[in-house]
Amino acid sequence: MPKRKESLIEKIRPYHIVAKAADGKVIFESEEDSSRFIFQMYAANIGKPAINLYRKDIKKAAQALLAGESLPKGFVVKEHDPLVDMFSFALAKDHYHFGLVPSQKDGIPKFMQKLNLAFAKYFNMKYKRQGALFEGRFAGAPITSPAQLNVMLRYINIKKVLDVYESGWKGQDAEDKKTPLDFLISYPYSSFPDLFQDRSSQLVSQEVRSTLRKMFGEDFFTKIEDHIDSSGNFMKEQAKSYKDLFLD
């Protein structure tokens, strides 16, 4: 069960979800592992990965999903309608953040269980390890107001991605250090390019993007420098009001 007393199935509303690797283990430094997780995100929401995936190029499949393209047949077995609608995601080195709305009863717990178990199976097999990959199941907090949603959009898509930038990322050449804005735009494993740029991945629907833009206006998504300039003091400024929502 999630690490919150409140059930995640009582109401159709947004949630901030966090899952952390056990013992702070780095699980998303490799592009191959990050790509596999992106693919598993898509598969877990509608069914399961097909068999014999070791024969297929999962990195290319993940790139296709992020580019908004459909997967060829033979990658995913569809078993049900989507369990969740995703409005934000960010992969860090040893954990990940989601913004989710359940699409059906028990949608979030079912999605998280399928995703974490499938990725743990892949990761443990690849690295010849045993035991739990994630620290418990996951943590979840309901987003109950537009003000909270406003904060979470910046927190997941900007603050958490800039944390990756500041800690260094294996896919970034040391001699070609990007600016924070360049990194936000080019880092593929978050929803920033979907919400604040023109990427249209298969993970964040057009309906979700349209709804958020209607709620907060175009300026919220185009004046990115304002968000970056304030990110350094973001946690300090918001800690008292939104501590339980951050889940860190």
1 within domain boundaries: no
Considering only residues 226 and 62, tell me which one the structure prediction assigns the higher pLDDT. Answer: 62
The secondary element (H helix, E strand) that includes residue 102 is strand 95-102
**End residue of a domain, out of 96, 120, 141:** 141
Asked if the model's pLDDT at residue 24 lies above 80, the reply is: yes
**Structure tokens that stand for 101 in this block:** 């709305």
How far, rounded to the nearest angstrom, does the alpha carbon of residue 72 sit from its chain's CA centroid?
A: 23
Asked if the model's pLDDT at residue 232 lies above 70, the reply is: no
Residue range of the domain that includes 206: 144-242
How far, rounded to the nearest angstrom, does the alpha carbon of residue 204 sit from its chain's CA centroid?
A: 10
Considering only residues 82 and 137, tell me which one the structure prediction assigns the higher pLDDT. Answer: 82
Mean pLDDT is lowest, of 20-24, 103-107, 139-143, 227-231, for 227-231
30 within domain boundaries: yes
Give the pLDDT of residue 170: 57
The DSSP line for 167-217 is H--TTS-GGGPPPHHHHHHH--SBSHHHHTSS---SSS-HHHHHHHHHHH-
Asked if the model's pLDDT at residue 135 lies above 80, the reply is: yes
Are residues 191 and 155 part of one domain? yes
**End residue of a domain, out of 141, 171, 191:** 141
Are residues 194 and 95 part of one domain? no
Q: What distance in Å separates the CA atoms of residue 162 and residue 236, rounded to the nearest whole number? A: 15
Number of H helices, E strands in the chain: 11, 6
Are residues 216 and 153 part of one domain? yes
Beta bridge partners of 99: 16, 88
- Give me the helix-helix angle, 234-246 and 224-231, nearest 10°: 90
81 within domain boundaries: yes
Pick from 128, 115, 139: nearest CA to 36: 115
**β pairing state of 76-78 and 47-49:** antiparallel
